[in-house]
Structure 1
């Protein structure tokens, strides 16, 4: 039997009439757009010193919830079996306890197994938490797997399933890295789970509609030995895979950073802004966040939150380089939770337009509504026609939409973002604007989501559901997007995107019509996105250069001279040495010189053929900032197992009983010939800061992480070629140049 649908026509007529009436009754566009407060990183300081691998969700009760890995919250505390905290404004937080305890731990995890890296979703009326189990009872030895648990509320009680959703994966006598899960719902309603890390790469699997069972073949989406902490969002018709790279937990030398690739399919291939795949041996990735020289280093393993204005935020952990350990001497890495805005620039997510982690006061996410509406009690004020609804086990107090309702004040002209949660078995309609410049969004569960924007129309199929779902309608100029989903984590189950040519949305009330229970309703202008990246260092006048066009090495000094290194027809050719400059051996050499005074940019061009895919650990060549054998930074094109990367490493003796520490950040993608740069300046404390960049053509540069060396005498700058002599290969340096900073 085909169900008749006269109600849609009726609702649109009612809504249109309400708009016309509203234009006469409503006042001017409301000035009641309460500004958010300000936060300062780290946002978890009030309840924890470490809150690593954060996952977040906006609960149906109107609170934001954050989940972390199973470290002690503060020095001396016991390990918590994954922690939970909540906030209304991202400024004030309340600790909510742990996910598991001894009474409800997953039965298939060994008693001593850590439970790490949670990911939170809302699926079919339940909160679904994925997590990493480091050791299971299923196999002897450490055998990582992905677990899943469900709960009726964001704080539990949590019920784990009797088996992993992704079981341990044996490979060559060991087990692949089955870690760091992240769920995702596609616009056709399909559910996916992403997981994996350095040992084996990042993979994706289709999972059942309830999110609890893997149902499809596994698909690799990122190469091994480069990424972990994968996270996927959908924006503008693209799927973005974001992953963390390098060592998460090297204390004061942690260079963890987040990179992104995108695809037209949730299964890839994902490529970066230069068109380089995240599966290539010369691995791609567009920088999303990396350290900038302030106190925060090792920024990574993130989640994405979207506020009431549609602004995306990166929620991540990082390490204070001045306080890297939870306890001293050497202990657990102290990784608090941080927050910063994302700007989508030229289709790519950039933290603070490329500025990186913040360490001063910042405007907080917008979590309240404008137009006088109380988001978690929308019947209270701001809307005419909404009634108090029934109390709900998940949402608490609700509002009842029975017929038509409209805002007392006008939504902003030209732009508006309306968001609300709803439970309904009937149709509903949202109307913005009026006359020919009107946007009408209607939905019937089990049928379709329909958008009429001016003269443009679009539809998307909807699955039937009687659980809470989220509606988002966003009009920004002539760009109109409407979506319906469950988790509200940039993964809608249905979406319509339109370009409505000539649309000029007038200031008018927002109209809702239908028969639904709704909650968490916000009306806001659309967040402004930065259009350009923050400036990166530019070269000015040439200060000094050595083009290696004669046999002299005037001004250079050797650290452990290598007689095999020679000037040869305009290049400095250096057979890659067997030793290394980092670690306790200190066998390798370096060719060093004193840098110019003041700020500068050093640039080297190096040819180093490392092939592809084969294991050539850890052959490399490039630039070095050298203070002594235990205090240096190194920027090199390097072979790391099967990958080829540009690594910017740091070695120092930390404050943990003199322990030698090494870690690195990754910057760009190398080629057979790679150009490398270091931009130098001193900060107010007199520290020496060096920001690194790489290029594949000498013209287009990828700028990345900054390392700080101690105040005092400036380190020397030089060249290195080391890490392994087999197979024999030669690094050819074309020049070293120093430029003024423009």
Structure 2
């Protein structure tokens, strides 16, 4: 039987309302864009997101906050501010706030970097607020980075903070226009080290694809002593997809699995950046459209490990006007590349396999072609491994790094540098084995084992 909480989570994710409710208490994880999630000292999770919905007069503005005990069920908890802070409103003309980034600050307390702008304009501002706890009270400290149309090429929205290998905080930001930038922050105040600094460009896309890159997040990985850049390509309305690249230094250069730099102007725009998640549908399941603008939650895992979750928004393929936040487990393969679960997270208790499951068998498989923005339909394929071994049979259970062999459309096999792990199969309503891996051409494949 499913975990009791799972039935409610299933309804939240699978049933799209006919129209947007003006009552935030009914939202759950719905009507949230550009999410970030943090964990407080007592284990409570807080989600911060762009004000919804389309700055409607019926919807409060000032950064929406949600609370969860388990990363599955979310309860609306109000706003951080009573509207848009004065300085940000006067600079940008914004009616709501976008893409808040919240981090625990060294020495105590929390910092929030919020964005104020209007759609399609780079007259924008990133503001800073501080609080003793994630649920506030939040005190505005004013604008820390600002851009103006006709004066700067950057767009000061979509902030993300990374603490580098030496503990130095960096602010990464940018949306369309001239790309993604990063700059150092003062370790105490959280303001730019150099007033007026707009940073170094670390990723960009050409005019031929409308310069469509945004929603960046950088994770420092001490295991490989390198930085992992996540960003979203294309349109948030229907073609969003998540890309990754890595660098030895936070200022780049960032290169994908194929070695292509994200600042290389001659690179094919659809191929630069390794695509780790796009639109897809499993057989019998909900079609998920345009996943993107992700952040990463890292927290202590079992036996001294660190576990990672990708947090992003996504639309319903059958009704793109509806969107929801999803949390997915993220792993790193043998080469140290991030891989995202094809199944949204359902909670630890729900992902326990009743018995060991062999890798060899039929799987519902997705191939995330970087040159396509279509919804990928899962295909039944034979999957095996170079080792004859069972996958983890319990959660938290260790994921297995395996060399997987996937049957390709021509009858041959494709070898993947993959991770196999327990998950919840939302279409099949059961605990199941899933995988994600990268082939020799730098293409990501994911899948869930069929019931046998």
Q: What TM-score results when the alignment is normalised by the length of structure 1?
A: 0.41
Retained in 2: the 8 A contact 1:302–1:317?
Answer: yes
Match of residue 316, structure 1, among 312, 319, 335: 312
User: Which residue in 2 is equivalent to 1:42?
Assistant: 13
Give the secondary structure class of the aligned counterpart of 1:42. Answer: helix
1:299 and 1:264 map into 2 onto residues whose CA distance is: 27
Does residue 1:223 correspond to 2:219, yes or no?
Answer: no
Does residue 1:114 correspond to 2:102, yes or no?
Answer: no
1:101 CA drift (Å): 0.8
1:301-334 deviation line (CA, Å, top 9, x unaligned): 1111234422211111000011221xxxxxxxx3
Retained in 1: the 8 A contact 2:176–2:213?
Answer: yes
User: Which residue in 2 is equivalent to 1:349?
Assistant: 338
User: Which residue in 2 is equivalent to 1:299?
Assistant: 291
Retained in 2: the 8 A contact 1:194–1:205?
Answer: yes
| Aligned pairs for 1:78-477 within 5 A | 78-102=59-83, 105-110=85-90, 112-123=94-105, 124-134=107-117, 143-162=123-142, 164-169=143-148, 171=150, 176-216=154-194, 217=197, 218-224=199-205, 225-235=211-221, 236=223, 237-249=225-237, 254-281=238-265, 282=267, 283=269, 284-294=272-282, 295-309=287-301, 310-325=306-321, 334-345=322-333, 346-352=335-341, 356-358=342-344, 362-364=345-347
Say how many residue pairs are matched: 337
| Aligned pairs for 1:542-557 within 5 A | none
Give the secondary structure class of the aligned counterpart of 2:137. Answer: coil
1:93 CA drift (Å): 2.5
Retained in 1: the 8 A contact 2:80–2:136?
Answer: yes
Retained in 2: the 8 A contact 1:53–1:317?
Answer: yes
2:117 and 2:242 map into 1 onto residues whose CA distance is: 23
Q: What TM-score results when the alignment is normalised by the length of structure 2?
A: 0.66
Retained in 2: the 8 A contact 1:292–1:357?
Answer: no
Does residue 1:539 correspond to 2:409, yes or no?
Answer: yes
1:36 CA drift (Å): 11
User: Which residue in 2 is equivalent to 1:670?
Assistant: none
Retained in 1: the 8 A contact 2:172–2:180?
Answer: yes
1:76 and 1:108 map into 2 onto residues whose CA distance is: 19
Does residue 1:52 correspond to 2:33, yes or no?
Answer: yes
Note the residue ranges of structure 2 that are not aligned, 5 or more in a row: 15-23, 206-210, 350-393, 413-426, 429-438, 447-452
2:180 and 2:62 map into 1 onto residues whose CA distance is: 24
Change (3 A) 1:158 1:534: farther
Retained in 1: the 8 A contact 2:204–2:263?
Answer: yes
Change (3 A) 1:127 1:73: farther
User: Which residue in 2 is equivalent to 1:597?
Assistant: none
1:210 CA drift (Å): 2.7
1:207 CA drift (Å): 0.7
Change (3 A) 1:347 1:541: closer
Retained in 1: the 8 A contact 2:61–2:95?
Answer: no
2:126 and 2:326 map into 1 onto residues whose CA distance is: 25
1:643-690 deviation line (CA, Å, top 9, x unaligned): xxxxxxxxxxxxxxxxxxxxxxxxxxxxxxxxxxxxxxxx99xxxxxx
2:128 and 2:403 map into 1 onto residues whose CA distance is: 39
1:502-540 deviation line (CA, Å, top 9, x unaligned): xxxxxxxxxxxxxxxxxxxxxx99752342487666132
Give the secondary structure class of the aligned counterpart of 2:309. Answer: strand
Give the secondary structure class of the aligned counterpart of 2:201. Answer: strand
2:228 and 2:255 map into 1 onto residues whose CA distance is: 9
1:108 CA drift (Å): 3.6
1:254-294 deviation line (CA, Å, top 9, x unaligned): 12111111111111111111111111121521122212234
User: Which residue in 2 is equivalent to 1:61?
Assistant: 42
Retained in 2: the 8 A contact 1:106–1:161?
Answer: no
1:107 CA drift (Å): 2.8
User: Which residue in 1 is equivalent to 2:398?
Assistant: 528
1:62 CA drift (Å): 2.5
1:223-273 deviation line (CA, Å, top 9, x unaligned): 142421110112211210110111012xxxx12111111111111111111
1:96 and 1:113 map into 2 onto residues whose CA distance is: 20
Retained in 1: the 8 A contact 2:32–2:313?
Answer: yes
2:55 and 2:123 map into 1 onto residues whose CA distance is: 28
2:155 and 2:309 map into 1 onto residues whose CA distance is: 28
1:124-182 deviation line (CA, Å, top 9, x unaligned): 312111111106xxxxx8611211111112122211123x21121555x6753221000
1:342 and 1:99 map into 2 onto residues whose CA distance is: 29
Give the secondary structure class of the aligned counterpart of 1:71. Answer: coil
Change (3 A) 1:201 1:532: farther
User: Which residue in 2 is equivalent to 1:503?
Assistant: none
1:58 CA drift (Å): 0.7
User: Which residue in 2 is equivalent to 1:702?
Assistant: 443
Retained in 2: the 8 A contact 1:315–1:337?
Answer: yes
1:51-72 deviation line (CA, Å, top 9, x unaligned): 1110111112321100010113
Retained in 2: the 8 A contact 1:144–1:179?
Answer: yes
Retained in 2: the 8 A contact 1:36–1:363?
Answer: no
Retained in 2: the 8 A contact 1:85–1:94?
Answer: yes
